[in-house]
Amino acid sequence: MQTLETDRLKLIPFSLDLMKAAMTDKAKLGEMLGVGVPDSWPGSDLAEALPIFVKNIHPSNPVWDWLIIHKVDRVLIGDVGFMGGPDERGVVEIGYSIVPEYRNQGYATEMASSLIQWALQRQEIKMITAKTLKDNIASIKVLTKIGMHCVGVEDDYLKWELR
């Protein structure tokens, strides 16, 4: 997968080597990327999922996840991805996280917009979905701004789609 860029951000494909470094040595990850890695990254959800990602990824498969780099500050500020790539119907689910120090500055909207534009140009992707907790106002705002539509409720989550 390609590196994506916005005005303020660079999205670097989260390769198997980078995942392994993220799990074992954040200083090494920072060296590999040429950026600082805050103590607040990765968030608990990604930290829990990384061993599963590493176990299930095959080096020849495409990468469907990216690391978010703040270009001016040269800092890793988050991660974004499509939960394993499109299924047989061409559906991907977007997920993302921004470290607390960089929240509420429009970075999630900026990177999600860039990734959505990239995804909609790919023939194998027909629909983008997301889900967020009902009380996650910041994420609800991001999903609305990037053009997603709330299509239902499942337990404590709102379900979103963009076709």
Residues 6+ apart with CB under 8 A from 87: none
pLDDT at 45: 87
Start-to-end Cα distance in the chain: 22
Question: pLDDT value at position 63?
Answer: 77
Model confidence at 3: pLDDT above 80: yes
Query: Which strand (E) or helix (H) includes residue 143?
Result: helix 137-145
100 vs 36: CA distance, rounded Å? 15
Q: Label residue 163 by pLDDT band (50, 70, 90).
A: confident
pLDDT band for position 8 (cuts 50, 70, 90): very high
- Could you name the CATH architecture of 4-162? 3-Layer(aba) Sandwich (3.40)
Domain ranges of the chain: 4-162
Look up residue 136 and give its two tokens.
């996650």
Q: Which of 4, 154, 39 lies closest to 93, judged by CA?
A: 154
What is the overall mean pLDDT for the chain? Answer: 92
Model confidence pLDDT, tens digit, residues 89-113: 999 999 999 999 999 999 999 999 9
Strand order in the sheet with 4-5: 4-5, 9-13, 65-70, 75-81, 95-98
